[in-house]
Amino acid sequence: MTFVSLTELPILSLILWLPLAGTLLCLLFRHSNFACRWLALLTTGAVLVLAICLFVGLPTAPGWLIREDYAWIPTFGIRYSLALDGISLLLVSLTAVLQVAAVLISWKQKEHPALFYALVLLLETGIIGVFLATDLILFYLFWELMLIPMLFLIGVWGHGNRVYAALKFFFFTLAGSLCMLLAIITLYLIHGEQSGIYSFALESLMQTQLSPGIEMLLYGGFLLAFVVKVPLFPFHTWLPDAHTEAPAAGSVDLAGLLLKTGIYGLIRFAFPLFPHAAQQSLPLLAVLALIGIFYAAWIAYVQTDVKRVVAYSSVAHMGFVILGLAAWNQLAWEGALLLMVNHGVTTGGLFILIAMLQDRTGSRDLRALGGMWKTLPFFSAFFLLFCLASLGLPGLSNFAGEILVLLGAFGRWPVFAALAAAGVIFSAAYMLRVVQGVLWGPLGQLCKIGDKDCLHEDLDRREWLLLIPLALLVVWLGIYPTTILEPLRGPISLLLQGGGLP
């Protein structure tokens, strides 16, 4: 597929609304479990195909690659404008991949399957929308659109303390985003008064002249919304609860995608709109990121719930990403975005594996598990691989991102980078504790040898299908990250120059 033919279709809209169409169809055929799950798979698969076409077919250029722009609510100056550059392309692709995984991992969903798949698809629309929108209100719309499906996914299909977790997730993120809404409106009004044109378009709003105080205030609003989502210490406490209680698909989406929307928001909106305030905030971001790296790694070490460990590890990894952003140079940013994608794949994979584990043993408790390599060797091999990737073993995906972040960050914050490197030790500590608790040792309390319940089945065909691509991705991104770094280079250098847009 060539560049020209791609742009002739409204391909961005297509990729954006396809999942929504899937949602509606799922609700329509809600009485057939079979139809719903295949619909969900087909839809996410179609999105994946489209995303791959884009990824392969589009050139690596710094600016927007494709744009769509239509009037929507002229009264407020809101436009339906979508645009895709290297960064969004990458994240949309990640979304497409992980959503297929999310559908596959919930293939045997028994409770209200139609609603479940519908919500997963709706979530996909929301996430892709966030990555594509360039009108601030449109962006906000998708930003909030992600919340409701996630709320339901956690609240309805979650584990034990799900309602608490769901509401906590919802309130944390919403508190942040309402601040952002206020800031967006203020910015819009200031811009309108200055130029006479009331518009929410990113390009226009970037031209706004702001006094330092106001800029800082508005930036604070944006920042709050995004760092809660990322999440940065001390706004992270929703995450362990949400990740832990969410069903598998929910955890995958949360860790793999929702956290990324926060980072994306920072680099696409918060930084370019308020360049001076952003510069001033970098030390703060770096400090918080560093605290997060340590703090989360420490807490992860004493958790007994596997999911909780992985959840806290996400906080630590996101700390690395933010540290990279705070370093504000090409190297660190490329690393940060790379790490973001890598984290999506590895943590997504881990959550998938934990779901499989829970399916088989009914437990996620490190104290009760153990010796899985004996009964589930293939599962265990994958588990080990993803854990190693997560702890940053060179040659697997996360390392490439982490080392770039550290190399870049060292140029600006040598001490912070050196300390952050220490975080890698802690990540080894808690990750190996998980490996120890799940794979090694004698068979856990849950099963004594000879127990009939203990004869777990190793991976079935669907699970192989699910894990192999992810594992390949983990290795591929580890040894040949150029695939991703290449398209990122141009957009990042544009963003760093402060222009941010072509």
Among 5, 209, 279, 482, binds other proteins (CB under 8 A): 482
Find the shortest distance in angstroms from Cβ 495 to other proteins: 13
Binding residue for other proteins, selected from 373, 382, 383, 416, defined by CB under 8 A? 373
Least distance (Å) between residue 341 CB and other proteins? 14
Q: Considering only 86-94, 205-213, 280-288, 412-420, which stretch makes contact with other proteins by CB under 8 A?
A: 412-420
Residue among 1 and 302 whose Cβ is closer to other proteins: 302
- Residues of span 432-471 touching other proteins by CB under 8 A: 432-433, 436, 439-442
Footprint on residues 131-170 left by other proteins (CB under 8 A): 137, 140-141, 144-145, 147-148, 151-152, 155-156, 162-163, 166-167, 170
Maximal CA-CA distance, the chain:
78
Rounded to the nearest whole angstrom, what is the least distance from the CB of residue 6 to other proteins in the complex?
A: 26
Q: How far is the CB of 30 from other proteins (least distance, A)?
A: 8
424 touches other proteins (CB under 8 A):
yes
Angle at 245 between CA 239 and CA 251, to 5 degrees: 65
Under the binding rule (CB under 8 A), the answer on residue 1 touching other proteins is: no
Q: Which stretch binds other proteins (CB under 8 A): 3-11, 81-89, 331-339, 357-365?
A: 331-339
Q: Does the footprint of other proteins cover residue 26 (CB under 8 A)?
A: no
Q: Is 299 in the site for other proteins (CB under 8 A)?
A: yes
Token pair 């210490």: residue = 233
**331 neighbors 231 (Cβ within 8 angstroms):** no
**414 CB neighbour count, 10 Å cutoff:** 10
Instruction: Verify binding: residue 211, other proteins, rule CB under 8 A.
Output: no
**Can you tell me the distance from the alpha carbon of 77 to that of 74, in angstroms, rounded to the nearest whole number?**
5
Least distance CB 396 / other proteins (angstroms): 10
Where in 218-277 is the site for other proteins (CB under 8 A)? 234, 237, 240
Instruction: Report the first-to-last Cα separation within the chain, whole angstroms.
Output: 25
**Should residue 53 be labelled a site residue for other proteins when binding is judged by CB under 8 A?**
no
The residue type of 277 is A
Backbone angles phi, psi at 135, to 5 degrees: -95, 135
Cβ distance to other proteins smaller for residue 186 or 195: 186
394, 465, 497, 498: residue in contact with other proteins (rule CB under 8 A)? 394
Shortest approach of other proteins to residue 378 CB, angstroms? Answer: 9
Single out the residue of 117, 264, 295, 351 in contact with other proteins (rule: CB under 8 A). 295
Q: Is 174 in the site for other proteins (CB under 8 A)?
A: yes
The helix/strand count (H/E) of the chain reads as 23, 2
Looking at the Cβ atoms of 263 and 439, the one nearer to other proteins is: 439
Q: What is the spatial distance between Cα 244 and Cα 246, in angstroms, rounded to a whole number?
A: 6
Nearest distance, CB of residue 4 and other proteins, angstroms: 30
Cβ distance to other proteins smaller for residue 54 or 255:
255
Selected binder of other proteins within 86, 371, 444, 491 (CB under 8 A): 371
Residue type, 478: G
Phi, psi of 73 (to 5 degrees): -125, 85
Which residues are paired to 52 by β-bridges? none
Compute CA distances 454 → 45, 149, 460, whole Å. 35, 35, 17
Residue with tokens 């290795």: 475
Distance CA 265, CA 130 (A): 8
Answer for which of 400, 447, 467, 473 binds other proteins (CB under 8 A) is 400
User: What is the signed CA dihedral for 87, 93, 97, 102, rounded to 10 degrees?
Assistant: 70
User: Is position 421 an interface residue for other proteins (rule: CB under 8 A)?
Assistant: yes
Angle between helices 33-57 and 11-28 (to 10 degrees): 170
Q: Does 388 bind other proteins (CB under 8 A)?
A: yes
DSSP H helical segments within 79-112, as ranges?
86-105
Residues 180-199 binding other proteins (CB under 8 A) are 181-182, 185-186, 188-189
Cis check for the bond before 247: say yes or no (omega within 30 of 0).
no
**Per-residue CA distances from 298 to 371, 431, 492 (Å):** 25, 11, 32
Positions 86 through 125 that interact with other proteins (CB under 8 A): 112, 115
Q: Which member of 24, 407, 454, 501 binds other proteins (CB under 8 A)?
A: 407
Token digits of residue 199: 């518009």
- Is residue 489 a contact point for other proteins (CB under 8 A)? yes
The least distance separating other proteins from the CB of residue 234, rounded to whole angstroms, comes to 5
Torsion angle defined by CA atoms of residues 119, 125, 128 and 129, in that order, rounded to the nearest 10 degrees: -130
Q: Which is nearer to other proteins, 1 or 486 (CB)?
A: 486
The count of residues in the chain is 502
Number of residues that bind other proteins (CB under 8 A): 90
User: For the CA atoms of 360, 150, 333, 220, what is the dihedral angle to 10 degrees?
Assistant: -140
3-class DSSP assignment, residue 78: strand
Would you count residue 28 as binding other proteins (CB under 8 A)? no
- Between 352 and 424, name the residue whose CB sits nearer to other proteins: 424
Smallest distance from other proteins to CB 142, Å:
8
Which residues fall within 8 angstroms of residue 272, CB to CB, at 6 or more apart?
202, 206, 495, 498, 499, 500, 501
Report the residue number, 162 or 243, with the smaller CB distance to other proteins: 162
